[in-house]
Amino acid sequence: MTFRLASVTLPEQGQVDIDVDGRLVAAITPAGTTPYIGDSFNLHGHVVSSSFAEPHAHLDKAFLADRIQNPTGDLLGAIQGLEAVRDTITFDDIVNRAVTAAQLMSRNGVTSIRTHADTTIDAGLTSVLALLEAKRLCSSFIEIQVAMLLGWPVTGIQGAESRALARDAIDAGVDVVGGCPHLDPNPHEAVEYFLQLALDNTLPLDLHADENLRETSDDLEYLADLMLAGSIRHQASASHCVSLSVQGESVIQRTAEKVAQAGITVTALPHTNLYLQGRGITSSVPRAITPVNALRRAGVVVAAGADNVQDPFNLMGRADPLETASLMVMAAHQSPQDALNMVTSAATQVVHGRASHVRVGDVANLVAIPASNVREAIAMGPPDRFVVYGGVVISDQKRNIK
């Protein structure tokens, strides 16, 4: 497609016209200063940015909140509730809910998603195969990466069956290696296993790391130590990293510096961590959000994601990165522009290994939001967003896969 987005507001540049030719941004000029022959969409000052990326989703669990009870309100309660009804969650059920979530995310301006797929002894590859099918069905309007979320344990004799299942998931076509070392009896050995599995199969690594408030939990630092000791440069991300928030300042700084040196990206997940963590604590209740400012000061790329959408791990959620950005402003003390960057350029770096920008020559993945500035866009979260994916204007007609 060839077209112009006329009179859009590009932060720090003011109102501009953006010309798209094929898949790429062909020109960015001050609004109204250059003639254009062809299709032109006058967006009347809408704020424009690179499109949103969702760096951490669980599409196989989306919209299960009314079907599953979380008896304790915390992480293990959500897991317990899910496993109690696991046999009612079918392949078609997962595909349908995942596609619905992807369509909603696309309407909100998301053009790429990394979703984790439960890969457990009880569930087998059902979630993996269902999400790979959802990926295929949605490929015309959104890109989906499927990460295995391997069950535990993965270490020792007891982990042999899970390790075999991981190989099956890779053979099935997962895009990313992932798991939860903090839930394994031997977290350090689990981190070693996941890193080696990713290296052996030339796949990105994305760990659920330190999803707890224990000061002894150090998945993130240990992953950085392994990569630095082995001079390993590999696309690796750690999500949650909650326990880092309860460490002393010296430990936080030490860990942040190692993570930056190792090139590990970190994904903060405010919705789910605010919801699940800190239950039963009545004084100085922790926010349970990883120390974003300390990580960023050290040079770590920090993204933000929604994690769960209306399921027992998070009863709320609108599948909207602007909701995530709003939480990062309020609960993680980020500026509106920094929060927007965390759900656009930084999130894209987590998913694709490179940041996104609105620049001439870059792929035209764009979202225009009916607001006069970034703060207003995040605060209001307005609908009717104009979405461009790979140089194609995405309408509801394109999202209709039936």
Residue 46 belongs to a domain = yes
| pLDDT for the residue 230 | 98
Q: Quote the number of domains for the chain.
A: 2
Domain-embedded: residue 400: no
The reported pLDDT for the residue numbered 315 is 97
Residue 112 lies in a domain: yes
The answer to whether position 301 is within a domain reads yes
pLDDT in tens, 361-399: 999 999 999 999 999 999 999 999 999 999 999 988 889
The domain that contains 12 carries what CATH number?
2.30.40.10
pLDDT, mean of residues 73-77: 94
Same domain for 279 and 131: yes
Establish if 401 belongs to a structural domain.
no
22 and 136 share one domain: no
At CA 145, angle to CA 368 and CA 198, rounded to 5?
135
Q: Residue 402 falls within a domain, yes or no?
A: no
Range of the domain at 155: 52-352
Same domain, 146 and 78: yes
- Residue 48: pLDDT above 80? yes
**Same domain, residue pair 125 and 19:** no
Distance between CA atoms of residues 223 and 51, nearest Å: 30
Domain identity same for 206 and 325: yes
Here the contacts of 99-104 (C-beta below 8 Å, separation 24 or greater) are: 99/134, 99/137, 99/138, 99/401, 100/62, 100/63, 101/57, 101/59, 101/62, 101/63, 101/309, 101/319, 102/59, 102/134, 102/138, 102/142, 102/144, 103/138, 103/141, 103/399, 104/318, 104/319
34 and 108 part of one domain: no
| Distance in angstroms (rounded) separating the CA atoms of residues 55 and 116 | 10
Same-domain pairing of 57 and 142? yes
Same domain? 362 vs 213: no
pLDDT computed for residue 364 by the predictor? 98
CATH of the domain at 162: 3.20.20.140
Does residue 173 lie within any of the structural domains? yes
The per-residue pLDDT for 402 is: 60
pLDDT for position 398 = 84
Q: What is the pLDDT of residue 324?
A: 99
- Model confidence at 217, pLDDT cuts 50, 70, 90, reads very high
Q: Do 182 and 303 share a domain, yes or no?
A: yes
- Whether 244 and 368 share a structural domain: no
Averaged pLDDT for residues 186-212: 99
Domain match, 345 and 389 both: no
Token code pair at residue 15: 């109102």
Residue 401 has pLDDT above 90, yes or no: no
pLDDT digits (tens, 9 = 90+) for 111-139: 999 999 999 999 999 999 999 999 999 99
* Residues 318 and 365 grouped into a single domain: no
